[in-house]
């Protein structure tokens, strides 16, 4: 039997709960008219709260948009302006674009920073807080992404040029470092190729933002950015130097091959024993390989014949990373005359990463059956590397047998890869799978088919049913 004390305690708890509901209910049931009125309140907290709630409702009401636009432009309180411009980003009504762009010139950096996020929110909603976060570091498996910033819009999404120009201006000229970095990251998410000149100016003029500019170049994916990276291959800052070389490789910028070979020829820089051990640990927040190894890494990503002899020499290196890069570079050159040699080496190779690179090289050189060993690694600790390799599959038909794999993880990842690299024939191949599979596989397959259609045919139609299932933009592909 409960004691009187326990009974009274429960009654009190229930009473408090009902009281809290009574207080919160009016806030959740406030009409748009009430919130619009609150935007004119003499109480700053009331105006701020009203702007926030209007954004959370995401109601595309012209009166709401106009009222928020006025608040973003004219309110005396910076926090009200900040909430108003963020609300406009959440509502996604381009009729207020003028005010959102104007907020990039606000007198307070917090408002300008929020304006950057709001402009990105016009095109995506997911994981964009990183734009205004301070970085903690960098790791070898995610060389340009360390604050969960994998967001990037699909290639078919066309960003308003005025947004790209305005963000480029902020990236180059805003007086606050954090706002400049936010604008640079935003341009990466939005694939702002039109702002490459401004980003290049920032790269040359501002040491504080160089890492973020280089990472934005990678996301934008335009090889034309490679020309701005070469001067930094010998930068005194090790992080800048390493990431500049990696970025040139990731962009497949072939004019960088000779400069990279020149850096490779310099050999590693002298380091203390402790430093060498620290920097060779994989997965830490600061993967900084020796200078010549960073150059080899970049060369392997380009896969140019001019580096062929370098790759051949490193096939037998005692360092596993160098062997891996050598085989990856030869894989991208895809000369079949190395097949016999690699087939012998794979029999004695003990490092699993190197062995996977050898297997992939054999596939790229013409041994089609070897792709199954790479596909099998999609389920396990080598999944990320295997996925990167398979995104470079020579012919999508090589992956068709695995869309019906009994392994659910393998099946799902192969279908997703085909959505990124497939063609119209691939879409036709996947259609029966979408109709006859279970719900999970059918949904993944439908998205893959639509992604192929959108990539080949342009922006999706508003009437397309798949938009109701999958509205998130894809993530950038992780480098190794």
154 found inside a domain: no
467 found inside a domain: yes
Q: Angle of helix 439-457 relative to helix 424-436, nearest 10 degrees?
A: 160
**Is 265 a residue whose pLDDT tops 80?**
yes
Least confident of 60-74, 122-136, 149-163, 328-342: 122-136
Structural domains of the chain, count: 3
Q: Last residue of a domain, which of 122, 137, 165?
A: 122
CB 476 within 8 A of CB 152: yes
**Is 465 a residue whose pLDDT tops 60?**
no
Q: Point out which residues pair with 139 in neighbouring strands.
A: 142
Total-model pTM:
0.83
DSSP 356-391: HHHHHHHHHTT-GGGHHHHHHTTSSTTHHHHHHHHT
Assess whether 6 and 47 both reside in one domain: no
Tally of residues, the chain: 480
Assess whether 45 and 11 both reside in one domain: no
* Tens digits of residue pLDDT in 2-23: 455 555 555 555 555 544 444 4
Assess whether 12 and 45 both reside in one domain: no
The string over 137-159, giving b where at least 16 C-beta atoms fall within 10 Å of a residue's C-beta and e elsewhere, is: ebebebbbbbbebbbbbbeeeeb
428 found inside a domain: yes
Assess whether 50 and 100 both reside in one domain: yes
Tokens read off for 10: 């429960």
Q: Last residue of a domain, which of 96, 122, 148?
A: 122
**Is 54 a residue whose pLDDT tops 70?**
yes
**What is the reported pLDDT for 53?**
94
Residue 379's CB is within 10 A of a number of other CB atoms, namely 17
**What is the reported pLDDT for 475?**
38
φ, ψ of residue 138 to 5 degrees: the values are -155, 145
Residue with the larger pLDDT of the pair 432 and 473: 432
pLDDT mean over 287-297: 90
Q: How far apart are the first and last CA of the chain?
A: 63
pLDDT band (50, 70, 90) for residue 287: low
CATH of the domain at 107: 1.25.10.10
Assess whether 2 and 103 both reside in one domain: no
Assess whether 59 and 96 both reside in one domain: yes
Assess whether 18 and 44 both reside in one domain: no
Long-range contacts of 101-105 (CB under 8 A, 24+ apart): 101/162, 101/163, 101/166, 102/72, 102/73, 103/72, 103/73, 104/166, 104/167, 104/169, 104/170, 104/174
Residue with the larger pLDDT of the pair 142 and 453: 453
pLDDT band (50, 70, 90) for residue 59: confident
Assess whether 460 and 377 both reside in one domain: yes
* Tens digits of residue pLDDT in 368-398: 999 999 999 999 999 999 999 999 999 999 9
pLDDT band (50, 70, 90) for residue 476: very low
132 found inside a domain: no
Q: Last residue of a domain, which of 122, 157, 183?
A: 122
pLDDT mean over 211-232: 96
62 found inside a domain: yes
Q: Which residues contact 338 (CB under 8 A, 6 or more apart)?
A: 312, 330, 361, 365
Average pLDDT across the chain, whole number: 85
Domain enclosing residue 66, as ranges: 31-122
Q: How far is residue 307's CA from residue 294's CA, in Å, rounded to a whole number?
A: 14
Assess whether 18 and 67 both reside in one domain: no
453 found inside a domain: yes
Q: How far is residue 262's CA from residue 233's CA, in Å, rounded to a whole number?
A: 10
CB 476 within 8 A of CB 219: yes
**Is 318 a residue whose pLDDT tops 50?**
yes
**Is 303 a residue whose pLDDT tops 90?**
yes
Q: How far is residue 218's CA from residue 21's CA, in Å, rounded to a whole number?
A: 49
**What is the reported pLDDT for 86?**
96
367 found inside a domain: no
**Is 412 a residue whose pLDDT tops 50?**
yes
pLDDT band (50, 70, 90) for residue 338: very high
* Tens digits of residue pLDDT in 148-180: 456 888 888 889 999 999 999 999 999 999 999
* Tens digits of residue pLDDT in 179-200: 999 999 999 999 999 999 999 9
80 found inside a domain: yes
Assess whether 428 and 397 both reside in one domain: yes
Assess whether 390 and 460 both reside in one domain: yes
Assess whether 6 and 103 both reside in one domain: no
Residue with the larger pLDDT of the pair 102 and 32: 102
Tokens read off for 56: 């959370």
Least confident of 18-32, 68-82, 88-102, 105-119: 18-32
pLDDT mean over 393-413: 96
**What is the reported pLDDT for 9?**
54
């Amino acid at each position: 039997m409960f004691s009187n004390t326990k009974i009274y305690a429960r009654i009190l708890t229930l009473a408090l709960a009902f009281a809290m509901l009574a207080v919160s209910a009016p806030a959740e049931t406030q009409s748009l008219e009430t919130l619009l009125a609150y935007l004119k309140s003499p109480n700053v907290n009331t105006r701020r709260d009203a702007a926030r709630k209007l954004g959370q409702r995401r109601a595309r009401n012209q009166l709401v948009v106009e009222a928020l636009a006025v608040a973003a432009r004219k309110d005396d309180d910076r926090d009200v302006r900040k909430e108003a411009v963020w609300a406009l980003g959440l509502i996604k009504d381009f009729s207020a674009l003028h005010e959102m762009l104007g907020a990039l010139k606000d007198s307070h950096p917090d408002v300008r920073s929020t304006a950057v996020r709001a402009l990105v929110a016009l095109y995506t909603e997911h994981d964009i807080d990183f734009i205004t976060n301070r970085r903690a570091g960098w790791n070898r498996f995610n060389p340009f992404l360390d604050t969960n910033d994998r967001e990037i819009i699909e290639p078919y999404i066309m960003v308003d040029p005025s947004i790209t120009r305005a963000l480029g201006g902020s990236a180059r000229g805003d007086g606050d470092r954090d706002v400049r970095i936010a604008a640079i990251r935003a341009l990466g998410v939005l694939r702002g190729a039109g702002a490459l000149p401004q980003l290049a100016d920032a790269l040359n003029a501002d040491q504080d933002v160089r890492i973020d500019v280089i990472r934005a170049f990678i996301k934008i994916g335009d090889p034309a950015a490679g020309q701005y990276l070469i001067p930094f291959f010998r930068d005194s800052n090790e992080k800048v130097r390493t990431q500049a070389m990696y970025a040139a490789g990731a962009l497949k910028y072939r004019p960088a091959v000779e400069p990279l070979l020149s850096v490779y020829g310099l050999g590693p820089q002298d380091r203390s024993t402790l430093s060498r051990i620290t920097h060779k640990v994989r997965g830490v927040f600061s993967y900084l390989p020796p200078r010549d190894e960073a150059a080899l890494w970049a060369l392997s990503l380009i896969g140019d014949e001019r580096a062929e002899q370098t790759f051949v020499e490193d096939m037998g290196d005692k360092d596993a990373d160098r062997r891996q890069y050598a085989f990856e570079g030869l894989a991208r050159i895809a000369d079949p005359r190395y097949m016999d040699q690699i087939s012998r080496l794979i029999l004695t190779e003990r490092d699993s990463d190197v062995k996977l690179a050898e297997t992939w090289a054999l596939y790229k050189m013409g041994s089609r059956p070897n792709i199954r060993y790479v596909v099998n690694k999609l389920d396990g600790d080598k999944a990320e590397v295997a996925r990167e390799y398979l995104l470079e599959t020579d012919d999508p038909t090589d992956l068709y047998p695995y869309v019906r794999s009994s392994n659910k993880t393998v099946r799902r990842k192969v279908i997703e890869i085909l959505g990124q690299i497939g063609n119209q024939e691939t879409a036709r191949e996947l259609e029966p799978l979408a109709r006859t599979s279970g719900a999970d596989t059918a949904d993944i397959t439908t998205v893959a088919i639509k992604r192929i259609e959108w990539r080949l045919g342009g922006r999706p139609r508003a009437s397309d049913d798949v938009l109701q299932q999958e509205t998130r933009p894809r993530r950038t592909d992780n480098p190794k």
